[in-house]
Every structure is written in structure tokens, then in C-alpha cells.
A and B are shown apart, each in its own frame.
Chain A
Amino acid sequence: MNRMETDVIVIGGGATGAGTIRDLALRGVKTILIEKNDIASGATGRNHGLLHSGARYAVKDPESAQECIRENQILRKIAWHCIEDTGGLFVTLPEDDPAYHSLLLDGCKHAGIPAKEISIKKALQLEPNLNPHILSAITVPDGTIDPFRLTSANMLDAIERGAKVLTHTKVVSVIKKGTEIIGVLCRNIHGEEIEIYAKMVVNAAGVWGQEICNLAGIDLPMFPSKGSMLIIDYRINGVVINRCRPPADGDIIVPGDTVSLIGTTSKEIPYDKIDEYTIDDDEIDVLLSDGEKMIPNVRFTRALRAYCGVRPLVAVSGEKQGRNISRGIVLIDHKERDGIDGLVTISGGKLMTYRLMAEKTADLVCSKIGVKAKCKTDKIPLPGSEHKFTSRRTMKKFSGIPDSVVGSTFYRHGQRLRNILTTDKKNYRLICECEMVTEGEIEYAIKKLNVHDLVDLRRRTRIGMGPCQGELCAYRGSGLFHEYGGASPEGSVELLNDFLEERWKGIKPVLWGDGLRESEFTYWIYEGLFGMSNLKNNKKGLKQ
């Protein structure tokens, strides 16, 4: 068995966990992060990536609203390459209660969110695809944030400062000494066990935090709430569109990178169903018909996929009723709550408050292990966001490579593009043609960004996330995976199989129209032409 030692163990490779190890690394604390799948594979990679202005909470939850606007402004500075300043609109539809409009304006004013009423004409100029029958519109400083890049950049920085990240490694039990937790026992995908000892363990396992607590003999009930979202083939809107009414199903359309997302539904689900991620046809119908009310084009556009995430709502002091459960940041010192030393749980909050959550956690951890250093994450930019460049200037620098390729790489990796693009022709050839992912980017990800399979690769690069959902690039990606030493040739074919299966999960619920045509085509290629299922016969044949 392997044995490791460190100062702090962080369980969970979502934004919160990644932010925590970065924060600690900046304070000189040694950490190891353990993630059972890949980074951002939990709630972090399963939301609509809204960089809240706080306006969505301004009426009901002023505290969250203030948190949001503060973090919003910080992230724009330290993580500009993960963020797009799209701006946001709150629009009132004829069927909505017009009174909410002024409630919202008041709430925003109170929380310090710069919200402004604009004319309908202006709103339509800003967002030409908007339903022209809206009654009023308010602008707010909403934006979008890419969760994969954000998490990856946090980890990259932490690693560069000495932290360790173990992905595809699951915490299976905690190591206890009396009432103190002194480490964890993990198992990786190869079945190897690793014992890690540390002064403190941070439970940043999101909705799975309940299980971690169970391992430690602590009861921390969570009330999982599932939200489903729909991805639309291209950006039908450039500005975040919110319905001006109390938050409800299907009331937001977020432009994210090359696509738009319609969000979300909300369904309480039993805890034992949190890993199922099934999307029901009625959820799709709700999202489409409500989305269509804000942007009529929705109905005519290809739906690329549907997916869902699970919000962890924590019952801090044992309430069982949904309403009273906190939606804010929950930081629990289990010594205080349960008399168990060496463990803190961080949960709740939002993707975009990850930094604040990390700061609070790191403060608590540091106070326990006697580290005096203060938080610096609000000042020091993330890797890729070091200096602000414009994409135009960057394109000039790489003249010879198509602007669309340089621009896309720049959009994804910010300043780190200098570690990725070169004028070598093999380097900048396209592997994923829909999202303009180059071979150089894939090489960089495989070598530098802790990638184990094609699904991981997708999270770092967007390969296979465009309209064809991997029809061409999946095969190329698998070939390169072998070429760059990530897998054996046979292994790379298995990765290809797994990748297409993973894509299928999200395609199935929206299988109609051009999406179905695309799938028929992909199926013909990989099953008809390439004979994926026939590979099983190869081995079977061998046995006979």
C-alpha cells in the first residue's frame, strides 16, 4: 500500500476543492486533493455557468446577493479568461406579475448591484432574438463563467505551487485516532489503495459530503435537488436572459462559449438517486416551452444535449423541511458540531462563490494548524489571466494560423496560449473542427492538465462538445491519446467507446431533428464502418 503525508487533505475536485488547495498553496500550506472522478465532474461541471450579478437573489436573499456581486467583481479580475462579460437582462413577459420589476430594482439597489431599467427598444437592440412582446427590461452585470477552465486553472496554479492532485481516486474510509481524524484511505481506478495522513481533512465533496461525513461517523443530512438543463447548438443569445419573476423552472438562458443553455428545472430527489442523472421528457418539454417564451428561436434550433446536476442543500441543524434549508455557504467545524477533530465540511454556496468558500475554509483550517498567512486569492490572478491581452493582439502575434483558431484557443486558455500554440503545422491543425481544438491544445492537456481519458480531455478543451458531439474528433482524439502516451492502442479504442457512450447519455433525451440525423450518421461510422461492437468478437473468437 502507498502511504503519503501532507498538511491538509481536500476531498472533492470541484471548484470549491480546487479553490481551497489554491488558497492554501498561496499561504504555503501543503495539500493533496482527492477526486473520485475527474475535476469538475460533480455539480461544478453540471450547471449553467452563470456569473451571477446577484440579482436573482436580490429580492429574497440579500446576503447571497451581496456575496455574488462582490465575488463577481473579484473574479472578473483574477479569472478573466474563464469569464465572459455578457451582461444580463431581466425581462417581464406579459404573463408575469409586473410588480416584481420594481421589487427587483429595489433589491438590487439595496445589495449594491448596478441594475438599470432600459427601454424595450434598447433591450431588443441588445438582444435581437428576444421576444418582442416583453413588457419591461432591466440590465444587470451578469456574466458567464466556464467551470471546467476555472477549476482547471485553480488546480494548475496550486500544482505549480506544490500541491498534489489525485483524480480518479476515491476516498473509501477515514483514518481515525480516537475522536480525531488523521487521514484518509483512498482507492484509485486501478484498484490500488493509498493511505494519506494529514493534520486536517477538508470535506468539499458537494452533495456526496454526506457520505464522507458518514465515513467519519457523523450525520449530516443533505437534501439533493436535481436541476436539468438543455444545450442549444449555437448562441441564440449574447446576453444572459432572466425572467423577471421569483426564480422558477425554465427561467434563464445563458450563452456559454459557442452554445446557449436553457435552465433549469428543480426536482427534489431521494439521496440514493444522486448518481443517476436521468432527464425526463417532461423536463425537456418545460425547458423548451419556457425557453421559447423568452427567445422564440429556441424551438427551431437544434438541441445538442440535456444534462442535470444535483444541488446539495444542507440541513445544518437537522431541519427536514426544504424551505428552511440554507442555500448559502455552509462551513462546518465538526469539532464544534460533532466533537470530531480534524475535519471540516464546506458545502452549499455557488460555483461563482467558490473563492469565498475556499477563503473561509482556508481561514478555518489555518487557524487550526497554526498558519498565520492571510488569503491572497482575491489579488493574485489565475494562470492564464496574468496579464490582460486582447484577442486581436494575440491573433496578430500568431499570424499564419487562422484567426478563428487563435481566437478560440485564446478564449479557452487566456495567456497560457503561449504554452499551447506554435507555428508548427502539426501543432495547429484542427482535431475538433466544431470547437476549433488543435492538436497542440490536446497535447498540452494530455501532458499538463492531468487527463486520464477522452472525457477528461473534453473538460479541458471542449473537444466533442460542438454540434457533431464527437463524430469526427472522438476518433482523432483517441488516436492522439495513444500517440502522446496516454493509453495503449487497444486502451485508446476503449476510451473512444467510453467517450461515445458518455456523449450518448446527453444526446438521448433530445434525440430528434438534426440531432437524430447526426446520431444516425455517427452510429453508421462507428458501428457500421468501424465496427465498434465487433471488437468484442475479436476476443471472443480468441477464446473459442
Chain B
Amino acid sequence: MIYDCVIIGGGLAGLTCGIKCAKEGLHTVIISGGMNSLHFSSGSIDLAGYTEKGAIVKKPFEYIKDLIKSNKEHPYTKIGLSSIKKSIDFFIDELASDNIPLNNNGEYNHFRVTPLGAVKPTYLSQESVYSSKGKEIIKSKGKIAILNFKGFRDYYAEQTAANIKNHPIFQDIEITVGSISLPYYHKTEKNLHEFRSIDISRIFETEKYLPRIAEEIKRAAGDAVAISLPAFIGIKNYKSIRQKLEAMTGKFIYEIPTLPPSILGLRIDHALKDRFFSYGGEYIAGEKIVSGKINKNEVESISTLNEGRLSEIKSKYYVLATGSFFSGGLQSRLEGISETIFDLATNGTNPRNKWYSKNFFDKKSHPFLNFGVVTDKNLNAKTKEGKAIKNLLCAGAIIGGYNPIKEGCGGGVAIASAYKCAELIAKDLKK
């Protein structure tokens, strides 16, 4: 059997690409060696957050337009503005049909609040992070209560409150801190103090305890008009749970991400997988691609390794969406940086002591975050000899030449590059 498109890696990039391909009617499979980085992300999509100098970007598309002119190697330049715009619309549509509406602030970035009380620019967010109603509350200086669950070790509301008070947006807003306790819920329940966000979100998902939680919220929030909770009000039916809780408490509910796992990101992961399945895509979890055969600048096949046996998989097109070091797309050794499957060309060629900056929170961020595979203008991967591989395209964090954190563009590049790959593949195969 020969697939139309095999996508290696099931993260934000791989899934987005898979959805588009499957939707175009291509026989698509995603093979993913482990869970992706959405599990830890804010669930907001950053398109372009900061300039080269670290200033906050107000209008991301305008900024990207300028970036395309000045930076030839940036993935955004290769993708092009119109595909970027289309990809974002596509992404919004797909998630909306899985009950995860994403909001944006027109052509402007908006802000999300972090657990430490920092305020970060981003472009797309879930309703519990950005909505016109929330905007109104802040404008009208409504009182806010920042709540936590008693005994939850992965979030500290006091820190959020103390620091956002310093920010101009929240300066004249009354902010209180409170905590609510969790209803006793399970027979074999043991140490609620060791719960992770996922455990609590599962309690919400049962919906059984919502009335009691609502009472608790009302008690702890007093006369605040809006409350913030650590993000765990459900995964799959989060939208309806949030609506119910808002109705029961009469308060606007905001969410702040926690230590891993991040439920906000998880919702996106679940929704994307659902979308992919709904178009008939196949998803193989827990399989790692270990090698690939390249012949005359074309990938012939890729292989998995099970019990010491290689199994070949063949496809017309391959998309490399294996993420960066963290997910295993790239590998670093004492001797240097390499791409793990095909040993492609990377831009991480300098010596080890040039991979990092002096301070952890350095203004310059760290060079290793820029590392990735070198691609040509159509996102085709290049071999070490500098030849572009015709049927191997790259998407997401594996692409080199940008710093997702410093520029605040990780999600945007992943979605846009994935969409672009799918477009190119569909166009070619439908010819």
C-alpha cells in the first residue's frame, strides 16, 4: 500500500497538515512517536509577539509583512502572507467545528495572563482566555477574584495577583485572591494534594460536582464580577461546563495555564485529533520512524523499528513534523546537532559553547532554539549536500531559522507551515 501522504510527528504541525490533507481527500497517515508539545502549551496561538529587539508587536500580520521583506530565511517568508492568513482561518474553522471556538482581536494581538502574573501578547485564544466580554470587564474596571484550589500544588494565585497589579491594564482594578476546596469525589481517592491539573479536569468532566463548585466559587469570590481559575474546567465538553458554571455563579470565568499538563493545550490536541479522524485520517501512536531511504533527492521509504525489525512505509509525499530537541526531531550530542531520521542539513553547526547564552532568561534568548532543518523556499528539506528533497516537506518546530519563544511565533509557524505543506502536496497530487 502506498499512501498519498505520510506525516511524521503528530504535534500542532503534523495534525494541522494531516487535517488539511485528509480534507483534500488524500490518503493520509500520521505516525507519532510520543505525545506532542501541545500538552504543555498555553493553548493560545502566538503568531508574532515580539520584534527582533523584544518590543511587543501590536499588529502581527503587518509585522510579518515587513519581516518577509527583511528576513529571507524566516519560515514565514517561505510560506507567504496569504497562506499564513488562510491557514489561520482554516484553523479557526476546524476547531470551531469541534466546539473549541478561538477568538482574536481582529488584526491586533491580545494579551493573556500567565501564572506568574506576566502579560503576554498572542493572537488566538480560547474563550476563557480572550473574549469581548472579558475585554469589557477590564474596560469597566470590574472587580476580579483570582482563585485556586486549596492544596493544588501546580498553581499559586497570590503570585499572579501580586504581579498583574503592577501592569497598567490592571492598575486600577480591584483584585482579590481566594481559594476553594475540592469536593470529596472518589472512593479510592488518596492524596488530593498531589493532583495534577488533569485529575481535576476529570472531576469537572463528570459535571456531577458543578453545583458545589459553583457555591464554593461564589463564597470565595465575594462580589467580584470575574474570576480566574487555573485551567482545568474540562477538556472535551469544556465549553458547556464553562457556560454552566458561569450561569450558576453569575460570574465571568477566565483561565490561567498551570504546570504540565496544560489543559488549555490539551483541548487543542484533542480537537485536532477529532477533526483528523472525522476526515478519515489514520493516526498511529507510539511508533517512531527511525530511518528513511533517500534516492536521487527523493525519499523512497521510511521505516519503523519494532523488536529489531524494520518495517517500511511508503508514500508519495512525506512531511517531517517531528518537533525540535524536546520531541526528538533534533538531537544534540557532545559532537554536534543533527536531524534524527534522515540526517538532514541543519543550521546548528557552531560549537557547543555557542549554543546557549550566559543567563537562562537572557535578553538574547538562546541560539539552540533557532536550530532546525534547512529548507528551500518551498519548505523542502535539504540534504547535507545542499540538495532539496522533492517529496519531503517540513512543518513546525523542526524548521530552523526562527526562535519560537523570543519572537512569540511558535504556534503560528507550526500552523502556517503545515497548511502550506498540505497545499503544495494537494496541488501536486491533484494535477
Q: Which residues of B contact A517 (CB under 8 A)?
A: 325-326
Q: Which residues of A contact B410 (CB under 8 A)?
A: 528
Q: Which residues of B contact A479 (CB under 8 A)?
A: 153, 155-156, 158-159
Closest chain A residue to B41, Cβ basis: A529
A429 CA / B195 CA spacing, docked (Å): 10
Contact present for B118 and A531 (CB under 8 Å): yes
Contact present for A535 and B118 (CB under 8 Å): yes
> Does B105 lie at the interface of the complex (its beta carbon under 8 Å from any beta carbon of A)?
no
Q: Which residues of B contact A544 (CB under 8 A)?
A: 168
> Does B342 lie at the interface of the complex (its beta carbon under 8 Å from any beta carbon of A)?
no
Residues A511 and B37 in contact in the complex (CB < 8 Å), given A431-B153, A478-B159, A521-B326: no
0 or 1 for each of B193-206: is its CB under 8 Å from A? (1 = yes)? 11000000000000
Residues of A contacting B: mostly: helix
Of the candidates A488, A490, A520, the one having the most CB atoms from chain B within 10 angstroms of its own CB is A520
Contact present for A534 and B120 (CB under 8 Å): yes
A430 CA / B167 CA spacing, docked (Å): 33
Contact present for A532 and B168 (CB under 8 Å): no
Q: Which residues of B contact A511 (CB under 8 A)?
A: 332, 352, 355-356, 368
> Does A484 lie at the interface of the complex (its beta carbon under 8 Å from any beta carbon of B)?
no
Q: Which residues of B contact A523 (CB under 8 A)?
A: 360, 366, 369, 405
> Does A80 lie at the interface of the complex (its beta carbon under 8 Å from any beta carbon of B)?
no
0 or 1 for each of A170-188: is its CB under 8 Å from B? (1 = yes)? 0000000000000000000
> Does B161 lie at the interface of the complex (its beta carbon under 8 Å from any beta carbon of A)?
yes
Of A127-135, A356-364, A414-422, A500-508, the one with at least 4 CB within 8 A of chain B: A500-508
Contact present for B158 and A520 (CB under 8 Å): no
Tell me the minimal C-beta distance from B260 to chain A in angstroms.
Answer: 7
Residues A542 and B168 in contact in the complex (CB < 8 Å), given A520-B325, A525-B259, A527-B405: yes
Instruction: Report A426-468 residues with CB < 8 Å from chain B CB.
Output: 426, 428-431, 439
> Does A317 lie at the interface of the complex (its beta carbon under 8 Å from any beta carbon of B)?
no
Q: Which residues of A contact B161 (CB under 8 A)?
A: 489
Tell me the minimal C-beta distance from B189 to chain A in angstroms.
Answer: 10
0 or 1 for each of A507-544: is its CB under 8 Å from B? (1 = yes)? 01001110011011101111111111111011101101
Q: Which residues of A contact B37 (CB under 8 A)?
A: 524
Q: Which residues of A contact B332 (CB under 8 A)?
A: 511-513, 516
Residues A472 and B352 in contact in the complex (CB < 8 Å), given A431-B153, A512-B334, A527-B361: no
Interface residue from A476, A490, A497, A512 paired with B361 (Cβ < 8 Å): A497
A286 CA / B410 CA spacing, docked (Å): 38
Residues A542 and B117 in contact in the complex (CB < 8 Å), given A512-B332, A529-B42: no
Residues A520 and B153 in contact in the complex (CB < 8 Å), given A489-B161, A513-B333, A528-B410: no
Contact present for A533 and B119 (CB under 8 Å): no
Q: Which residues of B contact A530 (CB under 8 A)?
A: 114-116, 118
> Does A223 lie at the interface of the complex (its beta carbon under 8 Å from any beta carbon of B)?
no
A482 CA / B156 CA spacing, docked (Å): 9
> Does A493 lie at the interface of the complex (its beta carbon under 8 Å from any beta carbon of B)?
yes
Tell me the minimal C-beta distance from A524 to chain B in angstroms.
Answer: 7
> Does B285 lie at the interface of the complex (its beta carbon under 8 Å from any beta carbon of A)?
no
A516 CA / B114 CA spacing, docked (Å): 24
Q: Which residues of A contact B153 (CB under 8 A)?
A: 429, 431, 439, 476, 479
Contact present for B164 and A538 (CB under 8 Å): yes
0 or 1 for each of B324-338: is its CB under 8 Å from A? (1 = yes)? 111000011110000
Q: Which residues of B contact A527 (CB under 8 A)?
A: 361, 365, 405
0 or 1 for each of A476-495: is its CB under 8 Å from B? (1 = yes)? 10110011000011101100
Tell me the minimal C-beta distance from A474 to chain B in angstroms.
Answer: 10
Contact present for B360 and A512 (CB under 8 Å): no
Interface residue from A475, A489, A512, A531 paired with B158 (Cβ < 8 Å): A489
Instruction: Report A340-360 residues with CB < 8 Å from chain B CB.
Output: none
Contact present for B325 and A534 (CB under 8 Å): no
A425 CA / B151 CA spacing, docked (Å): 10
Tell me the minimal C-beta distance from B335 to chain A in angstroms.
Answer: 9
> Does A192 lie at the interface of the complex (its beta carbon under 8 Å from any beta carbon of B)?
no
A132 CA / B416 CA spacing, docked (Å): 54
Of the candidates B156, B194, B333, the one having the most CB atoms from chain A within 10 angstroms of its own CB is B156
Tell me the minimal C-beta distance from B287 to chain A in angstroms.
Answer: 20
> Does B171 lie at the interface of the complex (its beta carbon under 8 Å from any beta carbon of A)?
yes
> Does B40 lie at the interface of the complex (its beta carbon under 8 Å from any beta carbon of A)?
yes
Interface residue from B163, B331, B369, B405 paired with A493 (Cβ < 8 Å): B163
Interface residue from A429, A492, A529 paired with B193 (Cβ < 8 Å): A429
Tell me the minimal C-beta distance from A159 to chain B in angstroms.
Answer: 30
Q: Which residues of A contact B158 (CB under 8 A)?
A: 479, 482, 489
Contact present for A529 and B257 (CB under 8 Å): yes
> Does B294 lie at the interface of the complex (its beta carbon under 8 Å from any beta carbon of A)?
no
> Does B306 lie at the interface of the complex (its beta carbon under 8 Å from any beta carbon of A)?
no
Residues A541 and B41 in contact in the complex (CB < 8 Å), given A429-B191, A512-B332, A529-B114: no
A-B contact pairs, 14 of them (CB 8 A): A429-B194, A472-B259, A475-B115, A493-B162, A497-B361, A503-B360, A511-B352, A511-B368, A528-B405, A529-B257, A532-B361, A534-B118, A538-B163, A541-B166
Knowing that A429-B191, A521-B326 touch, tell me 20 more A-B residue pairs with CB under 8 angstroms.
Answer: A425-B190, A425-B192, A426-B193, A428-B191, A429-B151, A429-B194, A430-B194, A472-B260, A475-B259, A478-B156, A490-B166, A511-B356, A520-B326, A520-B369, A526-B361, A527-B361, A529-B41, A529-B114, A537-B167, A538-B163
Mark B residues whose CB is within 8 Å of A. Answer: 37, 40-42, 56, 114-120, 151, 153-156, 158-159, 161-164, 166-168, 171, 190-194, 257, 259-260, 262, 324-326, 331-334, 352-353, 355-356, 359-361, 363, 365-366, 368-369, 404-405, 410
